[in-house]
Amino acid sequence: MFIEFASAARFRPLRQGIAAIALAVSAGLFAGCGRDEVTVYEAPKDVPPPRATTGTDPHTHAQTDPHQGMAMPATLKWETPAGWQAQPAGGMRLANYLVPAGSQTGQVSVVVLPQVVGRDLEVLNIFRERLRVPPLEPDQLNGLAQQIPIGSEAGHVYDMSGEGEGDAADRLLVAVLQDGQASYYFNFFGPTGLVEAEKPNFLALLKSVTQAAESSAATPPAMPPPASPMAAASAPTDGRPRWTVPEGWRETPPTQMLLARFEAGDDNGKAEITVSMFPGDVGGTVANVNRWRGQIGLAPWSEAEVTQAMTTLEVEGGSAMVVEMFNDQPGSGKRLVGVIWPRGTHTWFYKMVGADAVVTREKAALIQFVQSVRHSNA
Amino acid sequence: MLSSLFQFFTSLKLTVVCLGLATLLVFVGTIAQVEQGLYQAQDRYFRSFFVYWSPGGADWGIPVFPGGYLIGGLLTLNLIANYVRRYKFNRANLGLLTVHLGLVLLLMGQLFTDLLSTESAINLQLGETKNYSEDFFASELVVADTTDPDTARVVSIPTTLLPTTPTVRLPQKPFELQVRQFWPNAELLENAGEGTVASGATDGVGRTLWVQGRPPTVKMDERNVPAATVTLSDAGKPLGTWLVSGLLRPQSFAHEGRSYEIALRPKRHYTPYSLTLLDLRHDVYPGTDIPKNFSSRVRIDNPSSGENREVLIFMNNPLRYQGLTYYQYQMAARGPVKSSTLQVVRNPSWLTPYLACLLVGAGLTWQFLAHLIGFLKQRSA
């Protein structure tokens, strides 16, 4: 880099002084920039975007008091069918209605999920819990969707039935509208006869949907700049550690909350294995064990019972806790084996739940699986 | 002491070592982007004095390698110090001096870009007017006095302070703010589920919500949405506990006859002018869904200069205005709510790479011509 320099001169105080000043200026530059501190400023109040002017007296489902605070990407408005009774809404629900018909009642709700797009399977399976039917598999989803206009946009609707016979069986219609920043779910739940009778009103409501943009604060924050195709292709798999998947386990798409999901067993009985990780202790061991007990229909344990049921498992860099539970009630027969692994500032959960025989058979595989886990920075 | 320090900074061995370390750092930092994402890797390897290694799960780290700032700073000082020590001005060396000045300018320009530039975005629904953009990464917890009908007096606390500053005395407000819990990235649910905790809020919409902490994302197309539960108190008397999150709207409360709002939101960068989205277009090639062009027609309204004009921003044709550059970035042209997002870049030193390249080019040209002319003279003699 330094060629053809003159021979080194004697150091002079002036030159040393210049070097010292350069050093001091550099240090000051670093020290003075990028410091986070509390600031006070005055700013004009936010100006809401103009309202849409369509419709004469529509029911605008803006941020009224019950759900004041939820950051919806946009507010919609629609015309409520005659006879439907508006109920308080809150959280991510834009609206709730009771749909009375004789001695029966149906329920309509409008739910918005900001920044959730293209996750119909996971969301529908949450809604389907009301029908008390098994979750949908990915390949079942496409056949279920029917195109439908929602306002001036193209949406789709899922028509699902639950337990029961004929008109008394539960039925759930879920219409979905997506705009790239959020998904809007219009749910109609009730007895089949009622839902069928009120379906034209439900479709009319969907057709009347228009925008009623309400508040700039509702806009979800813009995403950071997109990655280059190369970066996207080499992206990590959601912070998973390395592990060895036991033979016979099949990996299935994880839901939003999970790092990984597997399935074991066959048509005679299945078990699901999930891996999740959260900051902190997530409510503590007792709370998590009792949450698992609730998932298979068991009553909560006391702290002493939880402690007694726990066994220790040696894992990479420390130990984890293993707990097993079984619901022997007729109609259940579910067994659950869970591993709680506090690791640094986070807690990892490995859970296997399913048919008794499968979980009993696969328990050793789960233990081996957890012990095979290696975290990248270890 | 000063003499040995000067000797250290003028050492050519230091140059070689720094260049070697820089090569290694660039290689390791580039590979690290695979697992850590672009921005986290940049912060860890290049925008730092040291690269730290943390034993599994620990929240402290051991410096294991010099970072970009340290290597770049040493190289710059080394270059300057060597000129101070060794350079003798004459015409033959003028080209070299210019080349190295260009290199120094390039290094300093990159440093200034790192320290001074900001990237944010302004999302406008059709017809909406805003005079601020929102930071891509940084968030702020704000408590605003909204009693005045037109303006809000805002106290802004960067969320980077929340984990380490459990109590904040709000300047010019009667409140003290206590941070009870902080999640760098969290989702809010209406019902308890896997890994959720009750918000613990006693006021506002958060009373009925559950918080699900999520691992901070390093993906390029996602952003962390922080959340916190905070208690406000006046002279030790608690006023309430709120759940604040980037997923929630500002929550209102009143105290001693004044109105306030509390919110956690992306950090705002205000401008003395406003932009209004007048129209947006998502053009496709005929008969296909292949995008041809995205464009936003906006109105600039600058009360201080009286400027009020329309501008069309489209791909590769940004708006440059008062030190900011607005690029067409994202668009929702087909949903029920039509909106356009412009990326806003402030880079006060954006000219330095151009000037540096000019200097290096001029220096090399001078040096080449000096040698050529000398050679031709020698040949003709």
Which domains, ranges and CATH numbers included, belong to chain A?
Answer: 59-218 (2.60.120.1690), 240-371 (3.40.1000.10)
Chain B nearest-CA residue for A65 = B205
Sheet hosting strand A346-355, strand order edge to edge:
A250-252, A260-266, A269-279, A346-355, A334-343, A318-327, A311-315
Q: How far is B82 from chain A (nearest CA, A)?
A: 8
Chain A nearest-CA residue for B225 = A221
CB A275 within 8 A of CB A245: no
CA atoms within 13 A of residue A132's CA, in its CB half-sphere: 4
On chain B, the residues whose CB falls within 8 A of the CB of A130 are: none
Cβ of A43 within 8 Å of Cβ of B151? The answer is: yes
In chain A, % helix, strand, coil (3-state, to 5) comes to 25, 35, 40
The answer to whether residue A299 neighbours chain B at the CB level (below 8 Å) is no
Q: How far is B379 from chain A (nearest CA, A)?
A: 22
Name the E strands within chain A: 39-44, 59-60, 76-78, 85-87, 93-101, 104-114, 145-150, 153-161, 170-178, 182-191, 210-211, 250-252, 260-266, 269-279, 311-315, 318-327, 334-343, 346-355
* Cα dihedral sign, B256-B260-B262-B267: negative
Cβ of B76 within 8 Å of Cβ of A280? The answer is: no
A74-103 pLDDT per residue, tens: 567 888 888 888 776 655 677 888 888 877
d(CA B336, CA A211): 5
Cβ of B221 within 8 Å of Cβ of A224? The answer is: yes
Cβ of A71 within 8 Å of Cβ of B249? The answer is: yes
Q: Which two tokens stand for residue B291?
A: 């995008």
Classify A214 in phi/psi space as left (phi over 0), alpha (psi -120 to 50) or beta: alpha
The answer to whether residue B371 neighbours chain A at the CB level (below 8 Å) is no
d(CA B120, CA B136): 5
Question: A59: which strand partners?
Answer: A78
The answer to whether residue B117 neighbours chain A at the CB level (below 8 Å) is no
∠ CA B283-B286-B289, nearest 5°, is 65
The answer to whether residue A176 neighbours chain B at the CB level (below 8 Å) is no
d(CA A41, CA B89): 51
Cβ of B3 within 8 Å of Cβ of A278? The answer is: no
A152-195 pLDDT per residue, tens: 788 889 988 887 777 778 899 999 987 766 788 899 988 888 89
Cβ of A376 within 8 Å of Cβ of B150? The answer is: no
Among candidates A37, A69, A258 on the partner chain, residue whose Cβ is nearest the Cβ of B251: A69
Q: Quick one: how far is CA A128 from the chain centroid? A: 16
d(CA A180, CA A186): 17
- Report strand pairing: A311-315 vs A318-327: antiparallel
Residue B202's alpha-carbon distances to A338, B228, B244, in angstroms, are 33, 13, 12
Cβ of A343 within 8 Å of Cβ of B161? The answer is: no
Mutate to test the interface with A, among B249, B325, B346 (most CBs of A within 10 A): B249
In chain B, % helix, strand, coil (3-state, to 5) comes to 30, 40, 25
What is residue A341's three-state secondary structure? strand
Q: pLDDT in tens for each of the 381 residues of chain B?
A: 777 888 888 888 999 999 999 999 999 999 988 877 777 888 889 888 999 988 776 767 889 999 999 998 899 889 888 888 877 777 778 888 899 899 889 988 888 888 888 889 999 988 889 999 999 888 999 999 988 888 899 999 999 888 877 788 877 667 889 999 999 998 887 767 777 888 888 888 888 788 888 888 776 667 788 999 999 998 888 888 999 998 888 888 888 888 889 999 999 999 999 999 999 998 888 877 787 889 999 999 999 999 999 999 998 899 999 999 999 988 877 666 678 999 999 998 888 999 999 999 999 999 999 889 889 988 887
Classify B329 in phi/psi space as left (phi over 0), alpha (psi -120 to 50) or beta: alpha
What number is the ipTM of this complex? 0.74
Mutate to test the interface with B, among A26, A37, A187, A238 (most CBs of B within 10 A): A26
